Amino acid sequence: MAQKQKRLAEYQPERLMQARKLRGFTMADLAVKTNLTRQSISLFEKLSNGITPSAETLISLAKALDVNITFFTLPLRKRESEFTATSAYNFRSMKSALNTNREKAKVCLHLLAGMVDFFEEYVEISNQLPKFNVPHFSELTDDEIEDFATETRRHWGLGDGVIPDLTKLLENKGVIIGYLDFVNGAGIDGVSAWIDDKPVVALSNKATAVRSRASLAHELGHLILHQTVTNEDLKKKELLDEIERQAWHFAGCFLMPQKTICNEIYSTNIDNLILVKERWLVSIAMILLRIKKIELISQHQFIRAYQKLVSQFGKKIEPLDDVIQHEKSNLFNRITELLNDKAISQKTDTYFYLGLPEDFMMQVLEIKKPDLPLTDNVIKLKFS
146, 171 contact by CB (below 8 A): no
Per-residue pLDDT of the chain (384 residues; tens, 9 = 90+): 444 556 678 999 999 999 999 999 999 999 999 999 999 999 999 986 788 999 999 999 999 999 999 999 999 999 999 999 999 999 877 565 678 888 999 999 999 999 999 999 999 999 999 999 999 999 999 999 999 999 999 999 999 999 999 999 999 999 999 999 875 545 788 899 999 999 999 999 989 999 999 999 999 999 999 999 999 999 999 999 999 999 999 999 999 999 999 999 999 999 999 999 999 999 999 999 999 999 999 999 999 999 999 999 999 899 999 999 999 999 999 999 999 999 999 988 998 999 999 999 988 987 665 543 343 433 333 333
What are residue 202's DSSP bridge partners? Answer: 178, 191
285-to-106, 167, 260, 315, 321 alpha-carbon distances in Å: 29, 21, 18, 9, 12
Distance between CA atoms of residues 163 and 103, nearest Å = 32
Task: List the CATH code of the domain at 13-76.
Answer: 1.10.260.40
* CATH code 1.10.260.40 region(s) in the chain: 13-76
One-letter amino acid for residue 324 of the chain: I
Query: Phi first, then psi: what are they for 370, rounded to 5°?
Result: -75, 150
The answer to whether the CB of 296 falls within 8 A of the CB of 266 is no
Q: Of 140, 166, 137, which Cα lies nearest the Cα of 153?
A: 166
> Model pTM?
0.91
- Given a contact cutoff of 8 angstroms between Cβ atoms, the answer to whether 167 and 177 are in contact is yes
